[in-house]
Amino acid sequence: MRFVPEILLTFLVFLSLNVEAQMETFVTEAGMGYSKTSVNTAIFRQNALTTFRDTQFIAYYDNSGHIILGKRKINPKGFSTEKFILEKTPLKMTRPHDAHNVISIAVDGDGFLHLSFDQHNSPLRYYKSVAPYSLKMQEIKRMLTNPEAKEYDVTYPEFYNFSNGDLLFVCRSAGNSSAVNYYDTKEKTWRMVAKNLFENNVMLRAYWQITVSEDDVIHLSWLWREISYDTNTNHGIYYAKSADYGKTWQSAEGDTIRPVFLRKQLKPVKAIPVNTNLINQTSMTADKLGRPYIATYYRGEDSITNYHLIYYDGKEFQDITVGQRKTDFQLSGIGTLSIPISRPRLITDGKKIYFFCRDKEQGSKIGVYYAQLTKKGIKPFRYENLTEESFEAWEPCLDIELWKTQKKIHLFVQKTFQKNNEGIRDEKPTMVKVLEIKN
């Protein structure tokens, strides 16, 4: 194993116990964060970390529920040793028991920070910085002037960046609809792209994941849930893409798909039945050829819930089991659940594919499965622990913009806890960190 020398302002360096360890890691501490639920570490934070040019931004709740914003300079060559400049804002989550109420941030092409938080069937809470690179925020009462915008009932706010500096905002809104908005950096205005992408009713709901690839194609995948509060009814994996900022949509083969996406009119790219522990809201990526990769987990024919990689090989979708877990569990209940494995986060540089996760079988450490991509397919995955300590309810949140622009891997990490059904654990605040991985 190779060890990184201790450097001023470096707080911890973790290395895998695996004798074949390939990855050096480096950790910078930010500050103490709220840990009684997984609200700081839910995977659908888009984003917890983001980088614009040479500046990285971070956002999290402290133990009082206030939002802490921070920024620092990124080292373009090696590990980033600079500490975060932090600012405690007056913004505060109103329902600390609800782990849905994540903070999501993005930076537009002019350097303005955008933020949405504390959203679970609640009126839109949207803020924008007062100046480029500033951590001081001002409230924007409405994102859209369009009267059809259902900004009174918002859940799962997510920001995505385009290479021209513009932004995409996606959320679930009233009536289980899925709204899509586009931010024009030059005009400094939002416009509605779609007020709803998916069929929805009392007994049917879509749960999606998105990636915007380096060529600005929006890749979208989702599953259907039959009964809105019953995870046992999750089923199927579906896919669509858009090469014109969400105006039109196609299948992986290029066939036109017109929203609203109707379940009975679409064929799943992977047919997964109900009652198989199929998890919702995971992650996606795409390679340089524009082929999508979808990370998930579900219970297969061996009756064990394992991670899966569903990907398009240019002709059809394939499904690979990632890892070989030994124990099973039951994914059931209402609200946020305490689950022995995290949802996986997925990235690829076209040569390797990385599959970040946390698994109780591995001591709930932060870990990664990784494999080589070849013309003949994907080589067998290998696993490596990236930390020595347990991170309990943590799920992977990655600095996607830093990965897209510099191919650097920075993970937002914090030891958090979660009880079933939106319960609160009586835990002390824990340290928020950035885990860098030299791949």
pLDDT digits (tens, 9 = 90+) for 288-306: 999 999 999 999 989 999 9
Q: Are strands 154-161 and 120-122 parallel, antiparallel or unpaired?
A: antiparallel
Class assignment of domain 24-438? mainly beta
Confidence (pLDDT) at 404: 96
Q: How far apart are CA 327 and CA 112, in angstroms?
A: 46
Confidence (pLDDT) at 422: 75
What phi and psi, each to the nearest 5 degrees, are found at residue 172?
-90, 135
Q: Is 88 in a helix, a strand, or coil?
A: strand
Confidence (pLDDT) at 334: 67
Confidence (pLDDT) at 21: 52
Listed by start position, the domains of the chain span 24-438
Cβ-contact 201, 223 below 8 angstroms: no
Q: How many CA atoms lie within 13 A of 2 on its CB side?
A: 8
Q: Are strands 292-299 and 256-257 parallel, antiparallel or unpaired?
A: unpaired
Q: How far apart are CA 376 and CA 380, in angstroms?
A: 12
Confidence (pLDDT) at 10: 37
Spans in the chain with pLDDT lower than 70: 1-21, 333-334
Confidence (pLDDT) at 390: 97
Confidence (pLDDT) at 14: 34
The model's pTM: 0.93
Q: How far apart are CA 96 and CA 422, in angstroms?
A: 9
In 93-244, where do the E strands start and end? Answer: 103-107, 113-117, 120-122, 126-129, 137-139, 154-161, 167-173, 177-184, 189-194, 205-212, 218-225, 234-242
